[in-house]
Amino acid sequence: MIYIENLGRYFAMLRKVFSKPVKWLILKDLILKEMNDLINNSLGIVAFISFFVGGVVTIQTALNIDNPFIPKYLIGFATRQSIILEFAPTFVSIIMAGKVGSFITSSIGTMRVTEQIDALDVMGVNSLNYLVFPKIVAMSLYPFLIAIGMFLGILGGWTAGVVGGLTSSEAFTTGLQMDFKTYHIAYAFIKTVVFSFVLATVPAFYGYYMKGGALEVGRASTTAFVWTSIVIIVLNFILTQLILG
């Protein structure tokens, strides 16, 4: 029953987030701050992980293609499909659930513990709009982060394949271009937009409605990471069935 109750509170929270908005002059500064905290500060880890995972995908693919009758350009093809369809939009989002999600939950949870949220409510400010809406707007830039991850993942695959002597640059490039469908890019970005909303709202929910002291802030961050990851995985399954099925 607690899960159904939390689901209802989550959607009730979303309704309040978009009602009684705070003045734009105030929100503008908050949005810029959230863009820096959530997007700009995440660029490094996304770039690092994408580059090296792309290299690992290429190496594993090349080592498993030991039949001389299988063309080497399939290495580039497999790397492209793995990065664009699943790794960049889905697995990077799960990693971001740990980084961004924990940051959102802990920051809002700390405000709850120190009664700053209560102070906003007493002043007549819609605390949910003030705290959560700027995060939703900032995370709307998340697809650009994933686009960078896609590029660096493929670049990492090319580097590992060519520098490691597993394939030639021409063969890898041929595989990248083979049977390319722009629909797959659209599919990846549709998932990314949905995941960005989840990354902004689910951790905010657990931070906003937490109870207790400093210890509970850490527990709420862990719970938020777990449930954000679960929601992303379930939505990934549903969206894949709806879009590609």
> Are the CB atoms for 197 and 138 separated by under 8 Å?
no
User: Rounded to an integer, what distance in angstroms lies between the CA atom of residue 107 and that of residue 90?
Assistant: 24
67 pLDDT above the threshold of 80: no
Mean pLDDT over 216-242 rounds to 92
Mean pLDDT over 44-58 rounds to 93
pLDDT digits (tens, 9 = 90+) for 85-136: 888 899 999 999 999 999 999 999 998 888 888 898 888 888 899 999 999 9
134 burial via Cβ count (<10 Å: 0-12, 13-18, 19+): buried
Q: Quickly count: other Cβ atoms within 10 Å of residue 217's Cβ.
A: 20
Residues of the chain with pLDDT > 90, as a percent, come to 51
66 pLDDT above the threshold of 80: no
pLDDT digits (tens, 9 = 90+) for 25-34: 888 899 999 9
> Are the CB atoms for 62 and 166 separated by under 8 Å?
yes
Any idea of the CA torsion for 193, 199, 204, 205, to the nearest 10 degrees? 90
Query: What's this model's pTM, rounded to 2 decimal places?
Result: 0.90
Mean pLDDT over 204-212 rounds to 89
User: Rounded to an integer, what distance in angstroms lies between the CA atom of residue 7 and that of residue 171?
Assistant: 50
Q: Cα-atom radius of gyration of the chain, to the nearest Å?
A: 21
Helix%, strand%, coil% for the chain, nearest 5: 85, 0, 15
